[in-house]
Amino acid sequence: MSKTPSALVLGGGSTGCGIARDLAMRGVDVTLVEKGNLTHGTTGRMHGLLHSGGRYAVSDQKSATECIEENRVLRRIASHCVEMTGGLFVQRPEDDDEYFEEKLQGCRECGIPAEALSAEEAREMEPYLAEDIERAIRVPDGAVDPFRLCVANAADAIEHGARVETHAEVTDVLVEDGEVVGVEVEHASDGGSADGLDSFVHGEPGTTEELYADYVVNATGAWAGQIGEMADVEVAVRPSKGVMTIMNVRQVDTVINRCRPKGDADIVVPHETTCILGTTDEEVEDPEDYPEEGWEVDLMIDTLSELVPMLSEARTIRSFWGVRPLYEPPEVGSEDPTDITRDFFLLDHDERDGLPGMASIVGGKLTTYRMMAEDIADHVCERLGVDAECRTAEEPLPGSEDFSVLRDWMDEFGLRSPVGLRSAERLGSRIDEVLGEWDGPNPTVCECEAVTRAEIQDAISQSGTELNAVRIRTRASMGNCQGAFCCHRMANELVPEYDEPTARDALDDLYQERWKGERHALWGEQLSQAMLKHHLHATTMNRDGDPAATGEEIDFGAFDAGESEGELSDTSGGDRSGDAVADGGRRTRTDETEGDADGDS
């Protein structure tokens, strides 16, 4: 018997995780490497729309048809990651009538259930739509949690024997005799745990490792060009940035799209406890270094207020940017990134560049990640001579297996019912494993998002000490207060498994990451919230003046040791303060410290 064929997947986004799961289920020996944590790139930075295909029903009917097919598949296999909110394409008076008809027709041609609604009917569904809208089209858009989806794919890949390495950056593509044979990765010295058994980090921190495989798949999205360069092949990804602005509550419960050909700021997606406004579309040079600008945030609020007027006065809690991995064959030559197709491309570097052993997958979108993964897994299996059917469209992801029984969460796990409900929504069929098997008190760690200790500990067991990875798994610190009340509690959960300095570093990283996005929402209520957070962490905890962090040598003897110190202390030899003074005590220093006082004044 020959050995099991092996594949190496580069990139821990939805596509990479989807490919890893698909190949692992077909019996391929898979290793996935990701330079950050899972969803580090574009997957973790999208608006969370589960497309019905309606958005592409006029401009790109192939994509639209794929979207509605995969929309149905994900509802089946990833029910715990999906909320079927429904969607509306809303026409305003200034929007083209003809386009509305084309949209309706296009949806029908692509098999997307679509129904025209009057303005009154639309407002019955979404009371905060503007008074002057003309009409709307109802489609089966939904919301999808990209983090949960990605993690569930990775977890199932591991279940089927895959190895998943996060914080392992590809530093070289290994080519031998004109063929790609593997990659060299560098294991980050500061991310995740090296020893957690269930962690996605296995390599020794700070070391490099050469990984060999029969086939390499470059699924690094916006970073695919950089991997291509390492192998001397050109992959002309055109990264395009877009802003997303998060609101504090769900002003709408339905996905609201603007019904016009294309444009910035034309969608509101209800997502968990929030709404996400999107987006812009601007080509950037470097997917990791591009300007994040206030005008983009203003544009979201001002333009989308035309559809939902209350947004102009509503509270936003942060903004973030994502980079689309757009690709088009070089001969097309679109000037405007909004004209570039959202379709995906499989680039076989053997056929294309005469470099066997590797393929890149570029373009596409989260809704069709599974279909993209299936395509490339078919390709890899063909190259590896593996004869196995794709099963990812039928087999539910972990968390979405037969989970339909309504239960009383409060009684079952001792949780207040809203906390239990939210936990169940996130964990799906894993709830028994995560909450049911938890031993010990299970307090709520993050109140905004109702995340309990058991769920945090489950995430830590998967992702080690990186609290940002815990955050994306659980949503802890992603609510209104942006971690003001829970960042430090999350860090406390790392102890005693990890030592205190590790927990403190993890807290600093999480706190700074939260701050980055909060800066885009600093006015009104959210500025007030940010000031409270600043007080809780700087005033009450003194994290900014912490001698353990600043390295400042404190002369403890120069500070007040207490009025009654003299009487109580008779055991420790090093008392510095004198007796209590007799004159009522105000403004009188003890003898020994007086000299110091003058010295530093």
Show contacts with another protein in window 581-600 (CB under 8 A).
581, 585-590, 593, 596-597, 600
CB of 522 to another protein, least distance (A): 6
Site string for another protein, 205-244 (x = CB under 8 A): ----------------------------------------
CB of 105 or CB of 312, closer to another protein: 312
CB of 459 to another protein, least distance (A): 15
The span of 129-137, 265-273, 357-365, 412-420 binding another protein (CB under 8 A) equals 412-420
Show contacts with another protein in window 540-579 (CB under 8 A).
540-550, 552-565, 568-569, 571-572, 574-577
Q: Is 248 in the site for another protein (CB under 8 A)?
A: no
Show contacts with another protein in window 26-55 (CB under 8 A).
none
CB of 355 or CB of 415, closer to another protein: 415
Name the β-bridge partners of 361.
346
| Cα–Cα distance, 128 to 496 (Å, whole number) | 48
Show contacts with another protein in window 358-387 (CB under 8 A).
none
Token pair belonging to 23: 């190949």
Q: Which residue in the set 294, 329, 436, 595 belongs to the binding site for another protein (CB under 8 A)?
A: 294
Cα→Cα distances 145→45, 51, 109, 276, 559, Å: 11, 13, 28, 12, 51
> Could you tell me where the beta strands, DSSP code E, fall in 119-226?
135-139, 142-144, 163-165, 168-176, 179-187, 208-212, 215-218
CB of 582 to another protein, least distance (A): 10
Q: Which residue in the set 85, 144, 511, 517 belongs to the binding site for another protein (CB under 8 A)?
A: 511
| Cα–Cα distance, 417 to 407 (Å, whole number) | 10
CB of 212 or CB of 523, closer to another protein: 523
Token pair belonging to 584: 């009522």
CB of 511 to another protein, least distance (A): 5
Q: 3-class SS at 272?
A: coil
Residue linked to tokens 């001969």: 331
CB 250 within 8 A of CB 273: yes
CB of 286 or CB of 555, closer to another protein: 555
CB of 534 to another protein, least distance (A): 5
CB of 316 or CB of 341, closer to another protein: 316
Q: Which residue in the set 124, 501, 591, 592 belongs to the binding site for another protein (CB under 8 A)?
A: 501
Q: How many residues bind another protein, per CB under 8 A?
A: 95
CB of 266 or CB of 296, closer to another protein: 296
CB of 341 or CB of 468, closer to another protein: 468
Query: How big is the CA angle at 162 (ends 157 and 166), to the nearest 5 degrees?
Result: 90
Sign of CA dihedral 388, 391, 397, 401: negative
Q: Phi and psi for 558 in degrees, rounded to 5?
A: -80, -5
| Cα–Cα distance, 207 to 370 (Å, whole number) | 33
Q: Is 417 in the site for another protein (CB under 8 A)?
A: no
Q: Looking at the chain, how many residues does it have?
A: 601
CB of 548 to another protein, least distance (A): 4
CB of 446 to another protein, least distance (A): 9
Q: Which residue in the set 499, 591, 592, 595 belongs to the binding site for another protein (CB under 8 A)?
A: 499
CB of 329 or CB of 557, closer to another protein: 557
CB of 184 or CB of 525, closer to another protein: 525
Contacts of 340 (CB under 8 A, 6+ apart): 238, 240, 326, 327, 328, 332, 334
Show contacts with another protein in window 432-491 (CB under 8 A).
440-445, 452-453, 485-486, 488-489, 491
CB of 532 to another protein, least distance (A): 5
CB of 244 to another protein, least distance (A): 17
| Cβ neighbourhood burial of 94 (10 Å; 0-12, 13-18, 19+) | exposed
Q: Which residue in the set 418, 495, 592, 595 belongs to the binding site for another protein (CB under 8 A)?
A: 495
Q: Which residue in the set 62, 524, 592, 595 belongs to the binding site for another protein (CB under 8 A)?
A: 524
List Cβ<8 Å contacts ≥24 apart for 437-446.
438/413, 442/413, 442/414, 442/415, 444/415, 444/416, 444/419, 445/476, 445/486, 445/489, 445/490, 445/493, 446/474, 446/475, 446/476, 446/477, 446/479, 446/485, 446/486, 446/489, 446/490
The span of 101-109, 125-133, 170-178, 512-520 binding another protein (CB under 8 A) equals 512-520
The span of 229-237, 332-340, 425-433, 494-502 binding another protein (CB under 8 A) equals 494-502
Q: Which residue in the set 516, 591, 592, 595 belongs to the binding site for another protein (CB under 8 A)?
A: 516
| Cβ neighbourhood burial of 586 (10 Å; 0-12, 13-18, 19+) | exposed
Q: Which residue in the set 111, 132, 176, 538 belongs to the binding site for another protein (CB under 8 A)?
A: 538
* 3-state secondary structure string across 205-224: CCCEEEEECCEEEECCHHHH
